[in-house]
Amino acid sequence: MSEDRQGKQRIPLGLNLGIWDRMTSWDQALDIARLADELGYDCLMIPESFGRDGVSLCDRLLAATENINVCFGIANVFSRSPAVLASTAATLDELSGGRFILGLGGSTPNLVEGWHGLEFKAPLARTREVIALCHRIWSRDRSPFEGEIFRAGGVKLSFEPLRERIPIWNGALLDRGLQVCGELADGWIPANLPAECIRWGREKLALAATASNRGADEVTVAPTFQLLAHEDPAQVLPLAKFGIAMYYGQDNSPYARAAAALGYAEDVAEIQAAYREGGAERASAAVSDRLAQSISIVGTPGECRSRVDQLLTEGADRLFVTLPAPTRAECEPLLSAIIP
């Protein structure tokens, strides 16, 4: 367990607010954030893709809560400059008293090119340089930086950051990304991957960290799983399968490639064949129970709690969950049920 600013122990659980776009009001989202804070959860995570601006949401969450950390998870490394990312993180960290975590990732061609209108080029090199530049900016280092993507230097951040090393968590999915994460990042936040990713990723991160003269325990492993608790689990398993079909169906899906490397190559082939024939609806029927139960936490409330305990024992330092419910009344029994 980690400690908050008052020295109180926080539960090694986090809530990924990926359901934000399905909420009908800001008050709903803030109520759920306050609930997680009151229950002792360690962190909230705010994604960003084609919807609301993640920085604005992080600011609102930090202002509405007292002790829980907030992770911007994940900001892509293309649409904001390293200086903007670093100064934004330093500002949010200062305003919150040291509760901000910057999540960074290389993103996808669909988001970078289709949404932002930018060329999706050298995502790993860009990620590496953005992390390095953030560290330099927070340490107020004005010496020249000459990278493959960026050239900077000669100026420094105009205020003293609250923390010189604001945590950077990375959403790498494949081997080369994990290499960068292990070398430079402070945490790994995989999502939509089978549970086998925990041990697999931890081993690769440890190798990369050791090669960079870092301790293997310097990288927090914090995967996200969808939480589907129901007295009749068969009622909610189709929800898990549809989500997997959406993420794994396309032939170029990095999530599918990672799952194939983890022993689910046949599952991936069947899902993608079905997706080509009939889209996500057809593909969801091709998702096996085995894969769905590995990627999601599905079962009765008691079974879900046991599953959370198992995942934490197997190597997750923190565990984020996403919920299908958009209100505090619906979320409270689910979030309470899985507390170790």
Full-model pTM? 0.94
Q: What is the pLDDT of residue 4?
A: 62
Residues 240 and 218 in one domain: no
Contacts of 314 (CB under 8 A, 6+ apart): 195, 198, 199
Residues 105 and 9 in one domain: yes
**C-beta separation of 333 from 231 below 8 A:** no
How far apart are the C-alpha atoms of 123 and 119, rounded to whole Å?
10
The parent domain of residue 274 ranges over 232-298
Which residues partner with 146 through β-bridges? 151
Contacts of 244 (CB under 8 A, 6+ apart): 192, 271, 284, 287, 291, 292, 295
Task: From 207, 228, 194, select the one nearest 316 (Cα to Cα).
Answer: 194
Whether cis (ω within 30° of 0) applies to the bond prior to 137 is: no
Alpha-carbon radius of gyration of the chain: 20
Contacts of 226 (CB under 8 A, 6+ apart): 239, 240, 243, 295, 296, 297, 321, 322, 323, 324
Residues 75 and 210 in one domain: yes
Residues 73 and 170 in one domain: yes
Q: What is the pLDDT of residue 42?
A: 98
Residues 273 and 152 in one domain: no
Residues 162 and 16 in one domain: yes
Q: Give the pLDDT of the chain (340 residues) as one tens digit per residue.
A: 566 655 667 899 999 997 666 666 788 889 999 999 999 999 999 999 888 899 999 999 999 999 999 999 999 999 999 999 999 999 999 999 999 999 999 998 888 999 999 999 999 999 999 999 999 999 999 999 999 999 998 999 999 999 999 999 999 999 999 999 999 999 999 999 999 999 999 999 999 999 999 999 999 999 999 999 999 999 999 999 999 999 999 998 999 999 999 999 999 999 999 999 999 999 999 999 999 999 999 999 999 999 999 999 999 999 999 998 778 898 999 999 999 8
Residues 294 and 318 in one domain: no
Provide the domain count of the chain.
Answer: 2
Q: For residue 23, give Cα distances in angstroms to 41, 65, 69, 121, 238.
A: 21, 19, 21, 34, 22
Q: What is the pLDDT of residue 24?
A: 66
Q: What is the pLDDT of residue 61?
A: 96
User: Going by DSSP bridges, is the β-strand pair 151-152/145-146 parallel, antiparallel, or unpaired?
Assistant: antiparallel
Q: DSSP class of residue 218?
A: G
Q: What is the pLDDT of residue 27?
A: 86
* Strand spans (E) along 230-336: 296-299, 319-322
Residues 121 and 252 in one domain: no
Residues 124 and 177 in one domain: yes
Residues 250 and 114 in one domain: no
**C-beta separation of 209 from 200 below 8 A:** no
Give the CATH number for residue 106: 3.20.20.30
Angle at which helix 123-138 crosses helix 82-96, to 10 degrees, equals 50
Residues 241 and 267 in one domain: yes
